[in-house]
Amino acid sequence: MGKENIIVALDIGTSKITTLIGDIDDTGELHIVGFGEVPSSGIEKGVIVQPAAVSSAIRKSVDAAENVAGSKIGGVIANISGAHLECRNDTEKVEFNTKQKQITVADLNQLMEKVSQKLQPHKDNLEVIHILPQKYILDDEDEVIDPIGLFASKIEGRFHIVLDRLNAFTNLKKVIENAGIKVIDFVANPIASSTAVLYPEEKEMGIVVLDIGAGTTDVAVYKDGSIEYIRSLPVGGNQITMDIAHRFKVSKEEAEKLKIEYGSALAETGTEDVIEVFPRGGDEPIQIEHSELVDTIEARLSEIFEIVKKELNTLGYSSSVQGGVVLTGGVANTPYIKDLAESIFFTDVRIGKPKNYTGFSDKVAYPQYATSVGMLLFAKNKISIPLATTGHNPSGMDIFRSLIEKIKNIF
């Protein structure tokens, strides 16, 4: 594998830590050339609770991917999720001293610089993760996505800003560095997942992406073609497992097995079939009815959807997301989850799987890899935008890295 265009995604989840090594070819296509995965340890709901355990699992995941790819990696792009993430939208303007000026990358950088100066994140104990352009308005009239090369006398930029609580961010960076790994950049989970699963027309129509993992439900709302809102709620599949464990007095491992083997999101699909399980610490098996198991799953999933629905209503997005809802993350594998979501959101729902890549699809073509693949795609898009405008191709890892560093504050 050539080192020129290699990007590495380190997806630190509550149930698994996945490392994907991506190679971008000359035409800009992403090929996954390395895959490593280990069970996660020391993370709960997007919060690091046992730093040493997390570092050790990260090291194992990266080692596994390096072995598969047959090459050592330089640095990683890491994900951020958890209730400590927040977002806001902001606008800035630049007026040129002339009636006509051709807009350049420097003008867009200036807009972003103005937005970033206003933020003063450290005063509020925050760290800026993304400043994502939503759209630009030229001469107070024309809304454009890519204004470079166009003429205007003034330009307004609208941006979506993602921030993380400074201490959560520092802790995450430290556990990765303590594993002996360099972090090149960070991507927030809701941004990564939606990058992997959405089609441009869905963003245009307005859509909600829910990545329901083991510990967090990452929410992303797109409106008029761009990202409008993100949130990472501390709820997920682990709670369903724990509900089953409590109700039937079985171990967490047994509950997880029951959920995967017999689970369904709709109580009405429950049957009178009897399942034999061993209660925690007991030698005698007990019998539970399938319908009771399914009922437990529906109750918790409904609660997660209701929390999201309430939030969308409060924020006033419910009527502006004509494209409906895309469900992804491991929990999206639950049978009938689409039907349950449709009955709660009263809109179209589909299951989102990662797209726009080749390689390792036997492993990653599933909803639980939306974040990992999306991280690679997000990083790829980030470097290809300035390249497209300059017409240069990166050659060598140093140029690749310096580009990432240079544009880190742009996006």
Ligand X SMILES: Nc1ncnc2c1ncn2[C@@H]1O[C@H](COP(=O)(O)OP(=O)(O)OP(=O)(O)O)[C@@H](O)[C@H]1O
Interface with ligand X (CB under 6 A): 13-16, 40, 46, 81, 213-216, 236-238, 256, 259-260, 263, 329-331, 333-334, 368
Query: Which backbone phi and psi does 17 adopt, to 5 degrees?
Result: -120, 115
Closest CB to ligand X among 14 and 134?
14
CB 372 to ligand X: min, Å: 8
| Minimum gap (Å) between residue 189 Cβ and ligand X | 6
Provide the 8-state DSSP code for 302. H
Three-state secondary structure of 173-230: HHHHHCCCCCEEEEEEHHHHHHHHHCCHHHHHHCEEEEEECCCCEEEEEEECCEEEEE
Tell me which of Mg ion, ligand X, none is bound by residue 231, counting a contact when its beta carbon lies within the kind-specific cut-off of 5 to 8 angstroms. Answer: none
Which partner, ligand X, Mg ion, none, binds residue 386 by CB below 5 to 8 Å per kind?
none
Judged by beta carbon, residue 35 or residue 400, the one nearer Mg ion is 35
> Which one among 22, 133, 213, 323 touches Mg ion, defined by CB under 5 A?
213
The yes or no reply on residue 13 touching Mg ion (CB under 5 A) is yes
Binding mask 173-212 for Mg ion (x = CB under 5 A): ----------------------------------------
First CA to last CA distance, the chain: 28
| CA pair distance 101, 97, nearest whole angstrom | 9
Smallest gap from residue 377 Cβ to Mg ion (A): 15
Using CB under 5 A, which of 241, 264, 334, 371 touches Mg ion?
A: 371
Contact 189/130 with Cβ under 8 angstroms?
Answer: no
For residue 328, the tally of other CB atoms under 10 A from its CB is 30
Residue 5 binds: one of Mg ion, ligand X, none (C-beta under 5 to 8 A by kind): none
- Euclidean distance between CA atoms 302 and 31, whole angstroms: 37
Q: Which does 331 bind (CB under 5 to 8 A by kind): ligand X, Mg ion, none?
A: ligand X
Q: How many helices (H) does the chain have, and how many strands (E)?
A: 12, 20
How many angstroms separate the CA atoms of 18 and 12, rounded?
Answer: 7
> 5 or 368, CB closer to ligand X?
368
Closer Cβ to ligand X, 178 or 333, answer by number: 333
Q: Residue 379, class by beta-carbon neighbours within 10 Å (0-12 exposed, 13-18 middle, 19+ buried)?
A: buried
Type and span of the H or E element at 44: strand 43-44
Q: What is the nearest approach in angstroms of ligand X to the Cβ of residue 408?
A: 24
The contacts of residue 320 (CB under 8 Å, 6+ apart) are: 206, 223
Q: Kindly state the smallest distance separating residue 281's Cβ from Mg ion, in Å.
A: 32
Comparison of 13 and 42: residue with beta carbon closer to Mg ion: 13
Q: Which is nearer to ligand X, 46 or 157 (CB)?
A: 46
Burial class of residue 113 (count of CB atoms within 10 Å of its CB; 0-12, 13-18, 19+) = middle
- The interface partner of residue 194, options being Mg ion, ligand X, none and the CB cut-off 5 to 8 Å by kind, is none
Cβ closest to ligand X, residue 262 vs residue 317: 262
The CA-CA-CA angle for residues 14, 20, 26, to 5°, reads: 150
Closest CA to 255 of 279, 282, 285, 234: 279
**In the complex with ligand X, which residue's Cβ is closer, 215 or 386?**
215
334 binds, among ligand X, Mg ion, none (CB under 5 to 8 A by kind): ligand X
Q: CB 366 → ligand X: shortest distance, Å?
A: 8
18 counts as binding Mg ion under rule CB under 5 A: no
Residue 312 has phi, psi (to 5 degrees) of -65, -40
> Min. distance of Cβ 78 from ligand X in angstroms?
13
Under the rule (CB under 5 A), what is the footprint of Mg ion?
Answer: 13, 213, 371
